[in-house]
Amino acid sequence: MRNRIVIAFSILLCILWSTSCRKDFEYAPSNGNLSFSKDTVYLDTVFASIGSSTYTLKVFNDTKDDIIIPNISLKNGHESFYRLNVDGVAGKEFSDIPIYAKDSLFILIETTISIIDGSIKELLYTDAIQFDKEPFQQSVELVTLAKDAIFLYPKGNPEIETEIINLYTDEAGNPINISGFELKDEELYFTNSKPFVIYGYAIIPDEKELIIEAGARIHFHKNSGIYVKDGAKLIVNGTLSEDNIALEGEVIFEGDRLEPEFAETPGQWGGLWISNGSSNNSINHLTIKNAEIGLFVGGLSNDTETTFILANSQIYNNTRYNLWTKNAKLEATNLVLGNAGSSSLLIENGGNYTFIHSTIANYWNKGFRYNTALEIKNDSQEIGFDLVKADFKNCIIDGNRQNEISLITDNQNSFNFNFLNCFIKYTQNETSSPLNYLYDFTNSELYSDIILNGEVDYFLTTKNDFRIGLDSDVIDKGDLDTANYSPLDILGTQRIPAPDLGAFQAIEKE
């Protein structure tokens, strides 16, 4: 009896094993019955020679039969600039791809496009993914716009030496070093004929100056930027744009990913760094966005020349600071310092500063922010220096925290600041602090005609659009003498005789 049970059980196992391991499933041919998630896959604009993001196409079998696709290939064959990945296998041509009934498969698509003809600025490149052969062939079109660019990077040329530079030491005491290469003389003038793409830190050598003309577009790869050495100089000659969409006169510093999903992604590149000892730098109509630190300006305590003149410019959406200065001598007019992961403006370790008709407004929404929009301090671990002057005239200091101004002195070095006709968001009473006098808004030696809180009526803070509407509490609140120093706002609008606070004159919302 026991043997019979064993024999019966063994036969049952064999039957189950044979049915579960069958490999003779029958597939029907596709016969042109596939459907797709898209008729055309548009891969967003890329720079020539830079890889795109990965795009997805879903292929559906809506029939009741398991089918097999005899062939999936690119129309341009193995010479195509596109690359495919079909259900986890990379290549440009695939054979006998099965899809079960009512099931689907994924195709991942990437591209890296080369432009051989140097006279071509843009190339609209097309191809197609073909499924099966005629007469049942189906296809999905692929379209990508590639832009030609001027690439600057260490090219392995012995004449181009890679240099390691220590930028700063972070809060944890870790040195932050960058790898850079010096620009050659013929590379020290950036035109607007083609975009520039920089890999690594482009270093402006001692006694040299980099001039950037109006309308230039400068793109930076990850961990890249511009470093201005001691004795070197940066001149950005942007101009007022007539078209607020094309921004034909604006100079723009941003990352090298052109896809829409990267348009507002912070931290894509390093930043613009002005080292101690560099002087007479000037910037007009420049936008810096999506970096780690937008602009750092260092200075020397005995420097009698102006370190930096900054006008009609916007710096925003940077993971740490938009503008970070140490012991510099800086003059800013019509400056917008928008959203940042830390302070929009950090002034530390002394210096000499004047900000006129500037908007410093931090509505960061990509994580928690500990620091105020404006932070001025002399309590760093470095040797203390005097804050000779920090004047803010006809400015806005605002954000999505209770208090957006922080003043910290070491009580040893001079700490001179003054706010004239400014909007300052400050709602928390600091009466318990021994440094309460720093926030005594009734002290006319420190504060004159200040608006504490109220409605500024921005256009759209989440998009760093800090234009102001007609319901703003800062309309007509500017000091006229100060406005005469800068009679036009950042968009070229006349602000005399009734100046509003900040970089923009109020207009009706669109």
* 141 has a pLDDT exceeding 60: yes
* 160 has a pLDDT exceeding 90: no
- H/E element, 4: helix 2-20
The one-character DSSP state at 318 is B
Mean pLDDT of 304-312: 89
Distance CA 227, CA 354 (A): 24
pLDDT given at position 471: 97
Mean pLDDT of 23-42: 83
Q: How do residues 247-273 score in pLDDT, each as one tens digit? A: 999 999 999 999 888 999 999 999 999
pLDDT given at position 6: 46
pLDDT given at position 172: 79
Could you tell me the pTM of the whole model?
0.86
Backbone angles phi and psi of 483, in degrees to 5: -65, -30
Structure-model confidence comparison of residues 361 and 15, the more confident one: 361
Instruction: Copy the structure tokens of residue 378.
Output: 């002399």
Distance CA 56, CA 399 (A): 39
Q: Are 270 and 201 in contact (CB under 8 A)?
A: yes
Percent of the chain with pLDDT over 70: 91
Mean pLDDT of 412-431: 87
Beta bridge partners of 181: 162, 202
Split at pLDDT 50, 70, 90, the class of 121 is: confident
Split at pLDDT 50, 70, 90, the class of 277 is: confident
pLDDT given at position 433: 54
* 19 has a pLDDT exceeding 60: no
Split at pLDDT 50, 70, 90, the class of 82 is: very high
pLDDT given at position 445: 94
Structure-model confidence comparison of residues 332 and 22, the more confident one: 332
pLDDT given at position 13: 52
Instruction: Copy the structure tokens of residue 338.
Output: 């928008």
Short-list 319, 342, 329, 340, CA closest to 298: 329
Instruction: Copy the structure tokens of residue 246.
Output: 């094309």
Mean pLDDT of 40-57: 91
Virtual torsion, Cα 86, 89, 92, 98, nearest 10 deg:
-50
pLDDT given at position 382: 66
Q: Are 470 and 508 in contact (CB under 8 A)?
A: yes
| Per-residue CA distances from 53 to 128, 139, 198 (Å) | 18, 22, 19
